[in-house]
Structure 1
């Protein structure tokens, strides 16, 4: 595994366990099997590590909101499935985002905030395309409700997450809930 990947994976775990401000570069280095100062060969500091972790996740999630299917409903369901699967597989990273995104500082925060806005607009476009009868405010509420539910899985108890076909059940609730927006 490349060292920068090892550092990022180690940091994601450490930030999840202790919070961004609860972990120093020396501890990150020790956990990654490096000296704290050697981390600076790969990253300018913890802020860049956090920004890199958040941007990697945003790259994947934003990419999944791009239109790929001519059928707008199928395209929306594909994006929802991707996001549910991502949230279930990356609960630690989702929690990191929820807890620590406000710890992001310049120069990374401005760019990341623009990307978050683009992400919301992309989702709203998917929802509006699949449900042209919804007005702009219903599209916005539906989008934020769905994203909130999807990413809430990061804090669900293990006994719930181990439910058979949990991803399918979540998708059923999401897609069946569209009727509530009318």
Structure 2
């Protein structure tokens, strides 16, 4: 998949710093002035980009759910005859990239999702359900004998495993991004294989 190489926009910079600060200190523990200072603009200057902190939180949580779903759909579309196990590996790799590179958003989702207004929270849940169902379809392609409820439970369990990265310690304390990604990938494949009663090596 292509990766973006251009510099982030000011709006993206604001969202990145807001996510980091909200994750570290909680939504109510961070002021607009602090977010502005983190990106080198005045607090009131943020209102040229967002009407307030609530809008930042909504864009962060709705945005990451949308990006995960869009990314997964793109991987499926690009598969074009790729064997099911390779497509499953691709989906796992995409989610691991998110889990390692956007750890504050995982913390933010766990702690602050209920702060969203109802319409935004429902949209997050809708995007997440679509993401799960896409994975379920791929998993059942790899393991044809796996019942749909079991496949769905396995997908949720693997997400829980991969989304544990905020609890693995500070980035500098991990064995390295590549080694951590490889470990998470092996564990995810092993979990799917175990759910189907197979070996940790996964589908052939």
- Normalised to the residue count of structure 2, the TM-score between the two structures is 0.79
Number of the residue aligned with 1:171: 185
CA distance in structure 2 between the aligned counterparts of 1:178 and 1:58, rounded to whole angstroms: 22
CA distance in structure 2 between the aligned counterparts of 1:9 and 1:170, rounded to whole angstroms: 24
Number of the residue aligned with 1:12: 19
Q: Structure 1, residues 81-124: CA drift from partner, whole Å, max 9, x if none?
A: 11112211222222222222222224422222211221222221
Number of the residue aligned with 2:111: 99
What are structure 1's unaligned runs of at least 5 residues?
Answer: none
- Normalised to the residue count of structure 1, the TM-score between the two structures is 0.88
Against the structure 1 CA distance between its residues 28 and 157, is the aligned structure 2 distance closer, same or farther, given a 3 Å change threshold? closer
In the alignment, structure 1 residue 23 sits paired with structure 2 residue 36 = no
Higher relative contact order (CA 8 A, sep 6+): 1
What are structure 2's unaligned runs of at least 5 residues?
Answer: 1-7, 198-204
CA distance in structure 2 between the aligned counterparts of 1:10 and 1:179, rounded to whole angstroms: 38
1:65 counterpart SS class: helix
Candidates 133, 136, 143, aligned match of 2:148 = 136
CA distance in structure 1 between the aligned counterparts of 2:16 and 2:156, rounded to whole angstroms: 28
Number of the residue aligned with 1:162: 175
Number of the residue aligned with 1:40: 47
1:28 counterpart SS class: helix
How big is the shift at 1:38?
Answer: 2.4
Q: Structure 1, residues 114-157: CA drift from partner, whole Å, max 9, x if none?
A: 11221222221221222221001210111011110011112112
